[in-house]
Amino acid sequence: MNKFKNFSLAMIVFFMAGNFAFSQEKTDKVDEKEGYKFTEEIRLDCSPVKNQYRSGTCWSYSGLGFLESELINNGKGEYDLSEAFIIWNSYSDKAEKYVRFHGDLNFGGGGAFHDVTEAFQEYGIVPDEAYDGLVIGEEHFVNGEMDKVLKQYVDGVIENKNKKLTPVWHDGFNSLLDVYIGPYPNNFTYDGKEYTPQSFAEELGLDMDDYIEIGSYTHHPFYESFILEVPDNWILGEIYNVPLDEMMEIIDNSLKQGHTVAWGADVSEKGFSWKNGVAVVPDEDKPDLSGTEKEKWESLTKKERSKMLYGFDEPAAEKEITQELRQEGFDNYTTTDDHGMEIVGIAKDQNGSKYYIVKNSWGTEGHKYDGFFYASEAFVKYKTIDMMVNKNVVPRNIRKKMGV
């Protein structure tokens, strides 16, 4: 009986040790995957990351962030410009155009980079400390109610049964903006000096004519400008059209010359992971595998393959992006006008693959890279909607073809 007990105990210890060794072996194998390791080659100075929070105003944050970087590059120092001021003016102009179009125009919180430069040029700008737009008791923008109320207001103006519009409807709309964002800052004090929005803009010394938007599409001729067909382009702004390789050349040249890039892209893809701080385009057809790994891959289900590709635990082979593939995404609505950000640098992963360092507007709290992420070259090629750059960074041969 005692021998049996001793034998049983020995067997239990043996199997436990075996299981521990097996588990340890599995753990060691998992630990072999080191994740993404980036070496930064260019990282330009920019203003701190902000948090747009519960608002669809990324275009204002990224557009102004880009201009703030231009001020740094121009030796003006670091400024914190008011997104609320741009939002107030853009919404006011949008309401007027929406009513004139009888409601046949997109109306909401979204916008584009040229909304920022148009408002800056027409109305000036103010610093954030003079007009932060936070008048409803929130720490950050929470614009859902405002967006809904403003939309119902302009729809009511259009649908009214009086057979004419009152001359005060636009004043009423602007009053709502004053309530939700704050009274319009016609005058303010900054660093002990009195300003108007126009005089403050003049002191900053930025020329909005220096900034152009660029994209790459085949449904319009290259080197010509066209109205970008996305819903948030309510202002019907135009962008220049260049081939894909030249679009990428312009981005690189801008960064090498010390200028950031305002970047509009689609971040609704599976390859975009804010949690992991990367945006990639894994090649689902040709993963970089060999030997037993390849055999294992071929035995996996589609769901299992997707989980493996989008685990973000190590760099993977990416899809080759062509002009045709990019256009197909735009034509089929799989690439949509989704989010405005700012490209501030270039990096490489441990395999030597190229990435762009991107400043976001989703805050920094608990984020792996403090509000920045790394977008692969393939992702930028594939998912860029448009970008805004200083026209002086465009290589001379491309500028000549664009007529800029």
HEC string of 319-377? Answer: CCCCHHHHHHHHHCCCCCCCEEEEEEEEEECCCCCEEEEEECCECCCCCCCCCEEEEEH
Counting the structural domains of the chain, the total is 1
Tell me, yes or no, whether 23 lies in a domain.
no
Measured in whole angstroms, the distance separating CA 193 from the mean position of its chain's CA atoms is 35
- Whether 319 and 281 have beta carbons less than 8 Å apart is answered as yes
| pLDDT tens sequence across 139-158 | 999 999 999 999 999 999 99
Q: How far apart are CA 65 and CA 48, in angstroms?
A: 9
Question: Tokens in use for 200?
Answer: 């403050």
Tell me, yes or no, whether 368 lies in a domain.
yes
**Confidence band for 251, pLDDT divided at 50, 70 and 90:** very high
* Per-residue model confidence (pLDDT) at position 255: 99
Q: Is the pLDDT of residue 13 over 80?
A: no
Q: Is the pLDDT of residue 299 over 80?
A: no
DSSP 3-state percent helix, strand, coil across the chain (nearest 5) = 45, 15, 40
What are φ and ψ of residue 20, in 5° steps?
-65, -45
* Per-residue model confidence (pLDDT) at position 297: 62
* Per-residue model confidence (pLDDT) at position 288: 63
Q: How far apart are CA 361 and CA 342, in angstroms?
A: 9
Residues 6+ apart with CB under 8 A from 214: 239, 240, 241, 242, 247, 250, 386, 387, 388, 389, 394
* Per-residue model confidence (pLDDT) at position 359: 98
Instruction: Give the 3-state secondary structure of residue 103.
Output: coil
Question: Tokens in use for 18?
Answer: 């075996």
- Whether 181 and 294 have beta carbons less than 8 Å apart is answered as no
Tell me, yes or no, whether 157 lies in a domain.
yes
Whole-prediction pTM value? 0.89
Tell me, yes or no, whether 250 lies in a domain.
yes
Tell me, yes or no, whether 33 lies in a domain.
no
- Where do we find the tokens 């989704």? 338
Tell me, yes or no, whether 48 lies in a domain.
yes
Read off the DSSP letter of residue 318. B
Summary mean pLDDT of the chain: 91
Q: How far apart are CA 295 and CA 300, in angstroms?
A: 9
Domain, as residue range, for 324: 39-281+318-402
Output the domain CATH number for residue 122: 3.90.70.10
Question: Tokens in use for 168?
Answer: 């005060």
